[in-house]
Amino acid sequence: MIRFDNVTKVYKNGTVAVRNVTLDIQKGEFVFVVGPSGSGKTTCIRMLLREELPDRGRIWVAGREIINMPKWRVPYLRRNVGCVFQDFRLLPNKSVFQNVAFALEVIGRPKSVVETQVPQVLDLVGLANKRDNLPSELSGGEQQRVAIARAFVNRPLILLADEPTGNLDPGTSQGIMRLLDRINRTGTTVAIATHDAALVDWMRRRVVELDQGTVVRDQARGVYGLDVATGPVPRAEIGVRGS
């Protein structure tokens, strides 16, 4: 579903954000991408949305090579890739319903589709009773649920989340994770960039660890550090495992 082939991204100021990353995520997988700030998680997500282009390497999304994709196709790529951010990015002057409906309206879906899909997805995220509230009247967890609803309402093949729980308390974060897990069980591929160790440990799903732009670990049912008890492992050892 997502494939990075030897991808390198260097920013104009010389920072190497991503270095020779090769990664394969299958359809229906649930993957955590972990690592400290500046390890290249966000750059990877931006490249998947084609907001950035890599300097070397190739990327496939849903069977389509996206680096040489013509510009006019990019919106159609993004319709297949839902995305959620730490800061929610909701429109403050639109209600919950309107925020979610907006995502369908701007890709030209007819009214009838909007009127059936939006209540369904609001039900899924547990906000059916708040459809007419403004984002400012909601808690942080609820706002993130609206953002997830907006990302998922179009039934994308892939759902990306960039630090989705960065602004939330642990209890609320678990709720968000459960929601993402439910979405994953509908067959949607879910990839979450996070540095929330407790959540990663709690979920026990595939973990890809990035450090300074390189993949240093890729574990099928991993935790945030190598082992919860021993904490982070010396770098040399990680390098061996990662290669």
Find the binder of other proteins among 70, 106, 112, 221 (CB under 8 A).
Answer: 106
Interacting residue with other proteins among 30, 33, 43, 78 (CB under 8 A):
78
Among 107, 115, 129, 231, binds other proteins (CB under 8 A): 107
Q: Which of 3, 56, 89, 155 binds other proteins (CB under 8 A)?
A: 89
Tell me which residue of 126, 151, 146, 122 sits closest to 136, measured CA to CA: 146
Q: Does 115 bind other proteins (CB under 8 A)?
A: no
Least distance in angstroms from the C-beta of 50 to other proteins:
9
189 part of the interface to other proteins, by CB under 8 A: no
Strand partners, 227: 231
Residue at 38: amino acid letter: G
Report the residue number, 45 or 216, with the smaller CB distance to other proteins. 45
Site string for other proteins, 148-167 (x = CB under 8 A): --xx--x-------------
Strand partners, 221: none
For residue 59 the two structure tokens come to 């990327």
Which of these ranges, 33-41, 73-81, 123-131, 203-211, lies near other proteins under the rule CB under 8 A?
A: 73-81
**CA neighbours within 13 Å on the CB side: how many for 67?**
17
Please give the Cα distance from 131 to 16 (Å, whole number): 43
- Determine, following the binding rule CB under 8 A, whether residue 113 of this chain makes contact with other proteins: no
Q: How many CB atoms lie within 10 A of CB 98?
A: 16
CA-to-CA distance for 34 and 188, rounded, in angstroms? 20
> What is the phi-psi region of residue 188: left when phi exceeds 0, alpha when psi lies from -120 to 50, beta otherwise?
beta
The one-letter amino acid at 21? V
Angle between helices 96-105 and 140-152 (to 10 degrees): 20
Q: Residues 121-150 vs other proteins: string with x where CB under 8 A?
A: -----------------------------x
Q: Is 72 near other proteins (CB under 8 A)?
A: yes
51 binds other proteins per the rule CB under 8 A = yes
Binding site for other proteins (CB under 8 A): 49, 51, 72, 75-80, 82-83, 89, 91, 102-103, 105-108, 150-151, 154
